[in-house]
Structure 1
Amino acid sequence: MSRKLLLHILFLICTSVAAQQNADFNLDFENVKTPQKLPANWMQWGTGYQVITDSSHKFEGARSVLMKAPEDIKPGTFGCVASTLPAIYEGSEIELKGYLKFENVVGSVGLMLRIDGNSGPLQFENMQSQGIQGTQDWTQYSIKLPYSSNATKIHVGALLVGKGVVWVDHFEIFIDGKPLAQAPGRKPAAALLDKEFDGGSGFTISKLSPTQIDDLTNLGMLWGFLKYHHPAVANGDYNWDYELFRILPKIMANISATEKQRIIHQWITKLGPVKTTSKQFDESTAVLKPQLDWLKKAGFGKEVETLLDSIQHASRKDTGYYIALQSGVGNPDFQNENAYGQMSYQDAGMRLLGLFRYWNMIEYFFPYKPLIKEDWHAALREFVPKFAEAGDETSYKLATLELITRVKDTHANVYNQSPSLDKYFGSRYSAAQLSFVENKPIVTDFFNASLSKQSGLEIGDVIEEVNGKKLGDIIKTQLRYTPGSNMSTRLKNLAPNMLRTNDSLLTIRIKRGTKTMNLKVPVYGQEQVNLYANYNKKDTCFKLLQPDIAYLFPGKYKNSYLPKILPEISKTKGLIIDMRCYPSEFMVFTFAPYLLPEARAFVKFTTGSVQSPGLFTFTPVLRTGANNPDYYKGKVVLIVNETTLSQAEYTSMAFSTAPNITIIGSTTAAADGNVSPIVLPGNIRTGISGIGVYYPDGRETQQVGIVPNVEVKPTIAGIQAGRDELLEKAVQILGAK
């Protein structure tokens, strides 16, 4: 059966399924098979809350859904009723409408809409930022989100966070303003019809020879080049993962170099001819240029090189099946990438796919590739045997984490939990939080205050050995798997892993003052040790330290607080902005203008190109502020350190243009730019800084960070005395008594 006929048949099936399932989605909650249980096709997300069908309160019909908070609300719990629909509709915008009635809500309530693709969540909104609470009779609410062409699932629902009770009723979904029943069905890409390797690649391999390593290295680069350059692949005409699985055994067979060239030529020719263009990018505006010299050095042969030359100069659209640029920002959107969450880790083809997918994403769409400061092509050759021979889950995921670490980007890490990695590093944690002070790991806080006494550790203790291993050996081993843009950030990321184990106790040698002692320290699971317990840990966003010194903590800040905060700040002679946090709201165009007498340039970006993969060009400079004679005329001190990351760094760049500002502290996390999520086989969730962020004069921020005017770092003595030496220095600079 031809590919076109299959497409036509599947299109008709999807259209009829859409019409059939509209009647079964049960968006009005009326179909209930068992009283009190949730309506058909609905489920409970979250834990600890009562979520049931209710007939005593309803907007229309006979039933609604009730969500009620428990008396004792545990951290991280919430109530949510949700349903999942197939994303089989054509359109560009989706809207969810629903009616809510609520009583005595303290926290937030709202609708929930999430759009997923093969790679994971694409768009999400739950109305929490609106802070809807209190008591309200039946009211219709609405959420609108972009509806991506690579969406696979639509999740709809309602959410209660905090105290209170909520009733939900009468949901409606619209695609481009049309009710779901009237939305046209989507024509699937041909890549979705290829099912040959749904059960795995079937590719196995033993220890590699040097020639095989070279062949796989060249194949990985060629596969990625075609993925992002050939129009047929960009159109979604081929499942490019499965094309790799088809070519792998042929290239790895014991055949001559001439025969391999013939197979590659045949493989590329199958994709069809391309239309070339004479249009070239403007080299004068290029910050990074495509590096494709290797095409003529890989030994593919003259015929293949001729084909590749035409593909290099092919006319391409500005979006593709596997890659697009996020609207309004320009960071890469790696779409339609299968997570292969149920892959077999003995599948060498899947493991090599993980390597090739990630390597090529970095090769063509990482704005800071030169800052890797090593030969990225040589890195591919180095990692080919590591991935090919990693025959179990732990080895494969460690190889992936090591590769991610080599990118030197604080935004690049393994985001999702992995039992195999937890077992490798230790699934149980000490309650003590470590930080590197004076290049030594020091206890600076506790993740669980109630367990602090049981630990035997005290704030200010210096860790010297763990389970008989010296500090230097531990750091050397851990750094191999600890990503970060600079060493201070890598040490910050490494610190929580130093006190991990699969046992019930750790033997730790510490130095406390002038004494050295050994301790048996208990460890706990993550249900007792919340590693994020001290994240943005402050009691308020604003206070007066002294009558004439104001203190602002952006980690708790809300733009809605401005009318109350600004008059108080205006009365002071000095303002301290403590950016040792992540801003809870975007402040660049709300608070920053208050510090500026006029509009000032603070940043410019580089963005990549789908039409010319590997090309990055500067955007115009961006300004914040406006003519403002009433700007803040007092002194400003901005505090930063390695916890100042991403949006915090971006915000600091805007603030740094203010007159009379002094930046104190230490170098920041040095990873700026919107994050582009990446998913790799085995459902490994990672990402990269997706756009380049530079000062208006072209100076780097990546790996450099926000460099303070006055370097101030905590000392061991200061930690032991319970002092905040950076805050003390800020007050001193402002000239306070």
Structure 2
Amino acid sequence: MDFRKKLAALLLALAATAAGAQPSGGAQKLPVGWYVTESAPKRYEAGVDTGSTCEGSRSAYLRSLTTDATGYGTFMQVFGAQDYRGKRLRFSAMTRIKDVDGWAGLWMRVEGPDPKQPLAFDNMQSRALVGTVGCKRYEVVLDVPKEATAIMAGLIMSGTGQAWLDGVRFEVVDASVPVTDLLASRPVVASTGPASLDDEPFPVAKNDQVPMGRIGDVWFNHGRVATDKPYTRRKDGVWVSILSEEIYEHGIEVTGTYGQRPVDLKVKAGGPKTLVDGTWGAEPVNILISPEKLVMRWGRFTRELPRDKSAQVDSTCNRYQVSDGMRVTDQVDVCGAALSTRPPTAQLVVALLANGFRATLPPQNFPIPQPPVRSRQALDTERGVTGGAVSP
């Protein structure tokens, strides 16, 4: 189908309503080609609203039906990728939200031959809409590879509240429009550490320096997790470190050895939150990655970092940090595929364990406050006198 005809059909579908429309603000039949998916039955509903639209005379909405803030729902459509292969596609819509306790945003996903490995994905989680926000046009931009099979797009809301969209557009754009892909690769600064010329190179994937996700300073891709003792993926699918420690994937379960301790963890994802539970060594592990906070527990150690939504970070990242006044006392950035609804399990687990369960001071932070010096001699830097705690 011609692109313009397809675009017109999509816009017409969103504007269509059933016969016997209800008064302004009332629910009507869903537009043709759109449907609702949710984390649990009867938690969300979608419909067509004729009141207070952003653009045009009708808008579609997604509304929570319960007070349970742990669920999520999407108002979405699926269409074939054949018309967009090899092109850059922008999905945009006028969007507004009301009383959203959680987050909301547009999302788009490009499917390939393996549904477990999306080719491109963005759900605006790193620039999510929260609370009450008026009409504004938002967009998601993804490259559609030649092997793409289908494209999914729509509106997602986690938690409670209501979100509307109208003025839906699907446009092919040129390379001057940047992608918002959470899985997009980007260059990595080469290591400045010394390397021995006598050391034989450890076999790594061809895309060694192309990350698809990052947690803290640890980035990963399909073949490598760049910890201080890197893990690489062998042809048999086993991840092995330079110390010959091995990590195995069994669906959502990850087993093996990390840091000379046995690992037995399960990664539960698929919604706005990712949970990692199990054991590392003899101690229980419980990790939560959500739009609101990052919680990492291992035995008696706990790191709980709220998300700083005002932080100036890459658009594919969430910054979680703890501050004491102007001083940051703990900080972790979670980026790219680590935020997706289907994160790569082995890479995610290794990257999380590598970040540790104790607070990490970020670089260029304010110095740790010290007790005031009460010696005049301590100010005499020309003579290099440090002085004692002698009162002036």
Q: TM-score, structure 1 length as denominator? A: 0.31
Partner of 1:124: 121
Determine if contact 1:28/1:169 at 8 Å carries over to the other structure: no
Q: Distance in 2 between matches of 1:537 and 1:98?
A: 28
Alignment check: 8 A CA contact 1:536 1:556 kept: no
- Asked if residue 41 in structure 1 is aligned to residue 36 in structure 2, the reply is no
Between the aligned partners of 2:30 and 2:206, the Cα distance in structure 1 is 39
* Structure 1: stretches of 5+ with no match in the other structure: 1-15, 179-282, 291-322, 335-360, 374-407, 417-481, 495-529, 543-550, 587-642, 659-737
User: Quick one: which of 151, 157, 161 aligns to 1:160?
Assistant: 157
1:609-647, Cα deviation, whole Å (9 max, x unpaired): xxxxxxxxxxxxxxxxxxxxxxxxxxxxxxxxxx98414
Whether the aligned pair in 2 keeps the contact of 1:26 and 1:39 (CA below 8 Å) is no
Corresponding position of 1:81: 75
8 Å CA contact 1:558, 1:584 repeated in 2: no
Q: RMSD in angstroms over aligned alpha carbons?
A: 4.8
Please tell me the residue identity of whatever aligns with 1:45.
T
Say yes or no: does 1:288 pair with 2:202: yes
Q: Could you say which residue in structure 1 is the equivalent of 2:376? A: none
Amino acid at match of 1:287: P
Q: What one-letter code is carried by the residue in structure 2 that aligns with 1:53?
A: V
Partners of 1:41 and 1:654 lie apart in 2 by 48
1:362 maps to 234
**How far apart in 2 are the matches of 1:82 and 1:326?**
35
1:415 and 2:252 are equivalent in the alignment = yes
Report the residue type matching 1:102 in the other structure: I
- Does 1:565 pair with 2:307? no
- Cα distance in 1 between the residues matched to 2:199 and 2:12: 52
Aligned 8 A contact 1:103 1:165 in 2: yes
2:170 corresponds, among 150, 168, 173, to 173
**How far apart in 2 are the matches of 1:54 and 1:652?**
47
Distance, in Å, in 1 between the alignment partners of 2:163 and 2:303 is 33
1:91 Cα offset (Å): 3.2
Matches within 5 A, 1:4-403: 16=1, 21-26=6-11, 29-33=14-18, 36-46=28-38, 47=40, 48-73=43-68, 75=70, 77-88=71-82, 89-120=84-115, 121-177=118-174, 287-288=201-202, 325=207, 328-329=210-211, 362-363=234-235, 368=240
Task: Assess if the C-alpha contact under 8 Å between 1:51 and 1:67 holds in 2.
Answer: yes
CA distance in 2, matches of 1:136, 1:332: 36
Deviation digits for residues 548-579 of structure 1, max 9, x if unmatched? xxx98255453747998153658xxxx6x6x9
Distance 2:86 2:10 in 1: 19
Runs (5+) with no aligned partner, structure 2: 22-27, 176-196, 213-219, 224-232, 267-274, 278-284, 296-300, 312-319, 336-347, 364-392
Partner of 2:380: none
Q: Does 1:483 align with 2:255?
A: yes
1:722-733 matches, cutoff 5 A? none
CA distance in 2 between counterparts of 1:107 and 1:58 reads: 23
CA pair 644-326 structure 1, distance change in 2 beyond 3 A:
closer
CA shift in 2, pair 1:176/1:556, >3 Å: same
Tell me if the contact between 2:110 and 2:119 (Cα under 8 Å) persists in the aligned partners. Answer: yes
Percent identity between matched residues is 17
In structure 2, distance between residues paired with 1:540 and 1:168: 27
After TM superposition, give the deviation of residue 69 of structure 1 in Å: 1.7
Letter matched to residue 485 of structure 1: T
Q: How far did residue 155 of structure 1 move?
A: 0.9
CA positional deviation for 1:158: 0.9
> What's the counterpart of residue 316 of structure 2?
none
The answer on whether the counterparts of 1:97 and 1:143 sit within 8 Å (CA) in structure 2 is yes
CA offset digits 1:4-35 (Å, max 9, x no partner): xxxxxxxxxxxx46565444334661234565
Aligned residues between the structures: 272
**Which structure has the larger Rg over C-alpha atoms?**
1
The alpha-carbon distance between structure 1 residues 655 and 565, as it changes in their structure 2 partners (threshold 3 A), is: closer
How far apart are 1:119 and its partner, in Å?
Answer: 1.2
**Cα distance, 1:111–1:126 mapped onto 2, change above 3 Å:** same
User: Which residue of 269, 283, 303 maps to 1:553?
Assistant: 303
Please say if residues 37 and 53 of structure 1, whose CA atoms lie closer than 8 Å, have aligned partners that are also in contact.
Answer: yes
**Following TM superposition, by how much is the alpha carbon of 1:96 offset from its aligned partner in structure 2, in angstroms?**
1.4
Once the 2 structures are TM-superposed, how far is the Cα of residue 40 of structure 1 from its aligned partner? 0.4
Q: Distance in 2 between matches of 1:289 and 1:645?
A: 18
Which whole-Å CA distance do the structure 2 matches of 1:84 and 1:20 have between them?
17
Q: Alpha-carbon deviation of 1:483?
A: 2.4
The correspondence of residues 682-697 of structure 1 with structure 2, limited to 5 A, is none
Q: How far is the alpha carbon of 1:365 from its aligned partner?
A: 8.1
Amino acid of the residue matched to residue 354 of structure 2?
Answer: E
Report SS of the residue matched to 1:649: helix
Aligned residue type for 1:143: V
Q: What whole-Å deviation, never above 9, does each CA across 1:474-511 have from its counterpart, x for those lacking one?
A: xxxxxxxx722347443x449xxxxxxxxxxxxxxxxx
TM-superposed CA distance for 1:95, in Å, is 1.7
Q: 1:540 to 1:113 in 2, by over 3 A?
A: closer
Mapped contact 2:305–2:321 kept (Cα < 8 A): no
> In the superposition, relative to structure 1, how do residues 135 and 555 fare at CA in structure 2: closer, same or farther (>3 Å)?
closer
In 1, Cα distance between the equivalents of 2:302 and 2:355? 17
Partners in 1 of 2:99 and 2:58 — Cα distance? 21
Partner of 1:674: none
- Which of 320, 326, 351 does residue 646 from structure 1 map onto? 351
Aligned residue number for residue 189 of structure 2: none
Matches within 5 A, 1:660-675: none
Q: 1:78 to 1:654 in 2, by over 3 A?
A: closer
Q: Which has the higher strand share?
A: 2
The one-letter code sitting in structure 1 at the alignment partner of 2:122 is: E
CA contact (8 A) 1:540 1:553 kept: no
Alpha-carbon separation, structure 1, partners of 2:324 and 2:361 = 19
TM-superposed deviation, 1:39: 0.2
> Following TM superposition, by how much is the alpha carbon of 1:44 offset from its aligned partner in structure 2, in angstroms?
0.5
Q: Deviations over 1:409-453 (max 9, x none)?
A: 15x23129xxxxxxxxxxxxxxxxxxxxxxxxxxxxxxxxxxxxx
How far apart, CA to CA, are the structure 1 residues paired with 2:334 and 2:153?
A: 25
Relative to structure 1, the CA distance from residue 27 to residue 91 in structure 2 (aligned partners, 3 Å threshold; closer, same or farther) is farther
Q: Quickly say closer, same or farther: Cα 1:93–1:177, change in 2 above 3 A.
A: same
Distance (whole Å) between structure 2 residues aligned to residue 80 and residue 32 of structure 1: 19
Instruction: Give me the whole-angstrom Cα distance separating, in 2, the residues matched to 1:29 and 1:415.
Output: 37
Q: CA deviation at 1:173?
A: 1.6
**Residues 68/654 of structure 1: CA separation in 2 closer, same or farther (3 Å cut):** closer
